[in-house]
Amino acid sequence: MPAVLAMGAAMASATVAQASVRIFSYEPANDATRRTAGPLTFEFDQRLVFTKVLWVRSTEGRARADLKPANEAVLGRGGLSAVIGADAHERDLYEVEPSAEGADMIHAFCPGSTHAWLAFGRLAQYRDLRVDVLGDAPTGGKARVCATLDFSWRGEWTVPAGQPVRQRDLKTPHFPY
């Protein structure tokens, strides 16, 4: 009997883990965001007490970049508060992976930078989103704000039940569209 209970608990936790992957799309809320990024889609893993953004993709194009959580110490002295201000709501920091099309995204969002980070506000259904794009200074030194992107909620993609989200085919590098 304990083995049956343990197996049932393992199957339930696997289902919960897959069900936590969500995909939200956003439209640019202003002309600056439209020129810099266009509409974007984010895949993230939502848990009870935290959210982890996995990737960002151009909604209208085929460009995609993986994201990984970053420690704000990489931004220099004072971290995120020193770069975007202590009162900003964007507190989740992710590094844009330069592999695949991530390098194109870094160049599009933050010309002259070789590394870029995205500072997110809370991803929530029906809620608009602000993303601060930060980049390393071309001459060295602490990180700088390259762009502040404001998005309007567009919708949520339905992830098939019981199916992991598959990698997208990204053969044509065209960012942001």
User: Is the pLDDT reported for residue 16 higher than 70?
Assistant: no
Please, which pLDDT band fits residue 127 given cuts at 50, 70 and 90? very high
Please, which pLDDT band fits residue 163 given cuts at 50, 70 and 90? low
Residue 98: predicted pLDDT: 92
Return the domain boundaries, the chain.
20-155
CA distance linking residue 124 with residue 117, whole number of Å: 20
Percentage of residues in the chain having pLDDT higher than 90: 61
User: Is the pLDDT reported for residue 103 higher than 90?
Assistant: yes
Averaged pLDDT score across all residues of the chain: 83
Interval 31-45 mean pLDDT: 94
Angle at 29 between CA 147 and CA 85, to 5 degrees: 40
User: Is the pLDDT reported for residue 12 higher than 60?
Assistant: no
pTM above 0.85, yes or no: no
37 or 160, greater pLDDT: 37
Which tokens sit at 11?
């199957």
Q: Where are the alpha helices (DSSP H) in the chain?
A: 2-19, 31-36, 79-84, 102-109
Residue 19: predicted pLDDT: 43
User: Is the pLDDT reported for residue 68 higher than 70?
Assistant: yes
Cis before residue 2, ω within 30 degrees of 0? no
Residues 6+ apart with CB under 8 A from 42: 23, 24, 25, 26, 53, 55, 56, 57, 123
CA distance linking residue 104 with residue 135, whole number of Å: 13
Distance of CA 99 to the CA centre of its chain: 15
CA distance linking residue 56 with residue 123, whole number of Å: 13
Residue 26: predicted pLDDT: 97
Please, which pLDDT band fits residue 165 given cuts at 50, 70 and 90? low
